[in-house]
Amino acid sequence: MSSQWELVMGLEVHCQLATSKKLFCGCLNQEAGDINEHTCPVCLGYPGALPKLNWEAVRLAAQAATALGCHINTTSVFSRKHYFYPDLPKGYQITQFDQPLAESGSIPIGLPKQSGFEQSVPVHRVHIEEDSAKNLHLKNGSLVNFNRASVPLIEIVSDPFVGQPHHASQYLRHVHWILLEAGVTAGNLEDGHIRCDVNISVKPVGSPELRTRVEVKNLNSFRNIERSVIYERDRQIALYEKGSSPVQETRLFNVKQGKTEVLRTKEEAMDYRYFPEPDLPVLDLEAQWIQENTAKPSVLEKKHYLMTKWGADEGQAVTVLTETGLFNLIEDTIALGADAKKTLDWALTSVLELKKKKQLPVNPTQLYELIQLVADHKINLPTAKDVLKKIAFSDAQPQVVVASDGLEMKRDDDTIREIVSAVASQNPDEWTRFCAGDQKLIGFFMGQVMRKAKVDPKLTTQILNQMRQEQP
């Protein structure tokens, strides 16, 4: 490379937020599963369907933006961005345009001094938008899988900065790391949770001008981002040195050949016809909401909290903090009103046993309901554990499962008395001995009664003792 040129880069990073539901409907945010399993009239853009904002996504987006050093705007606006493509069900993407969620962040990555930034890349803005569906191109046609349609994304846009090709990958590594630490994304690049576009231009060293830029889209590995920047930089310098110049266009990186290729030229550039989304009100975030939802305690603070407020021991606290999502699950379940100690027990035993990779089997509402069902003596602990297995990785409500499977414990005296009488008459010898005072047999009768029906153990013990005393 000729030393009289310097490289200018600007990066746009898309990151899928790890919410339980999609951005504008109740469908699960899970790309896996059968094709088009997680779809409904809203995310398929059916006639008459309207978007409903998922506040969990807003919270995660605000947390991410805060972690990226941005300022959260108390007012931001959703807009429609229009283009026709089969992966875009409504013919427009709901995104944020002139009033984004957050602005003015910075990411320290240690640039060389001459870049003008000692150690950080400025983040221009962070905004919320919905993901598109996924096209599957087959030999004799194309199909569309809408499981990804309307999954919540944030787009992180950097200001243009002068640097070396490896700074692009360094920037992406840092963003990736910060977002993972903030707990807002599953963060697998190979699964497309994080995707990157780079704007590249070159200019004479020290010149204040910005020359024609080329956008390279859809990079999803640290290595390829750097390779594509090197290729594109050299291509542009070669053009200038031949007396020609690059044209403004969008290119794709061909991983096999290590080259960028034209996707569309400026003339083919789309006019997105942005205007404010009339189906969604202006996103007003109160200062207090921002404060409460973005204040993220450090790991040490969290550990202290776990041990003092929730009664965890050292080992339990460390487990909670190293398992992805577990702290949030516990925190949110307790916030719903569940007992702290019980929540911790559940989280550290049954919940962890069912965990798959980085995915927890239940959401806070489900766990809370389950704990309450036991606390209210509606079901006993073993039943509760069975229910957990049944509802794992679904959005089924424990109460509904308990009702539909008839798992609720019998709590009325008369029913239990009837069962005890039946058991007594089937085991007359044992019953006589029990009535005569053989206290050990209470366990036997408890077992027999519980085999016949789901009963409340405390109540059954009481009734057994009462009935023994009632014997002449």
> Using CA atoms, how far apart are residues 93 and 115, in angstroms rounded to an integer?
35
Least Cβ distance, residue 97 to other proteins (angstroms)? 12
Nearer to other proteins, 52 or 433 (CB): 52
As given in the structure block, the two tokens for residue 80 are 């429609």
Interacting residues with other proteins between 87 and 126 (CB under 8 A): 89-92
Interacting residues with other proteins between 25 and 54 (CB under 8 A): 41, 44-53
Task: State which of residues 247, 275, 328, 471 lies at the interface with other proteins (CB under 8 A).
Answer: 275
53: left (phi over 0), alpha (psi -120 to 50) or beta: beta
Task: State which of residues 206, 208, 278, 428 lies at the interface with other proteins (CB under 8 A).
Answer: 278
Least Cβ distance, residue 48 to other proteins (angstroms)? 4
Nearer to other proteins, 155 or 277 (CB): 277
Task: State which of residues 273, 296, 309, 389 lies at the interface with other proteins (CB under 8 A).
Answer: 273
- Under the binding rule (CB under 8 A), the answer on residue 137 touching other proteins is no
10 Å CB burial of residue 70 (0-12, 13-18, 19+) is: buried
> What is the full DSSP assignment across 378-442?
SS-HHHHHHHHHHHTTS---HHHHHHHTT-PPB--HHHHHHHHHHHHHHSHHHHHHHHTT-TTHH
Beta-strand pair 249-254/214-219 = parallel
Least Cβ distance, residue 47 to other proteins (angstroms)? 5
> What is the full DSSP assignment across 82-102?
E---TT-TTSEEEEE-SS-SE
Least Cβ distance, residue 23 to other proteins (angstroms)? 13
- The residue type found at 327 is F
- Under the binding rule (CB under 8 A), the answer on residue 173 touching other proteins is no
- Would you give the binding string for other proteins spanning residues 216-255, x where CB under 8 A is met? ----------------------------------------
Residue 198's CB: how many other CB atoms inside 10 A? 28
Interacting residues with other proteins between 371 and 430 (CB under 8 A): none
Residue 4's CB: how many other CB atoms inside 10 A? 14
Residues in the chain, overall count: 472
Least Cβ distance, residue 41 to other proteins (angstroms)? 6
Nearer to other proteins, 91 or 258 (CB): 91
> Using CA atoms, how far apart are residues 445 and 431, in angstroms rounded to an integer?
8
> Among 102-110, 212-220, 268-276, 418-426, which window interacts with other proteins (CB under 8 A)?
268-276
> Using CA atoms, how far apart are residues 60 and 246, in angstroms rounded to an integer?
39
Least Cβ distance, residue 315 to other proteins (angstroms)? 43
> Using CA atoms, how far apart are residues 197 and 151, in angstroms rounded to an integer?
19
Nearer to other proteins, 45 or 192 (CB): 45
- Would you give the binding string for other proteins spanning residues 63-92, x where CB under 8 A is met? -----------------x-x-x-x--xxxx
Quick one: which of 38, 2, 426, 423 has its CA closest to 239? Answer: 2
Nearer to other proteins, 98 or 190 (CB): 98
Task: State which of residues 281, 311, 382, 447 lies at the interface with other proteins (CB under 8 A).
Answer: 281
Interface ranges with other proteins (CB under 8 A): 41, 44-53, 80, 82, 84, 86, 89-92, 144, 146, 271, 273-275, 278-281
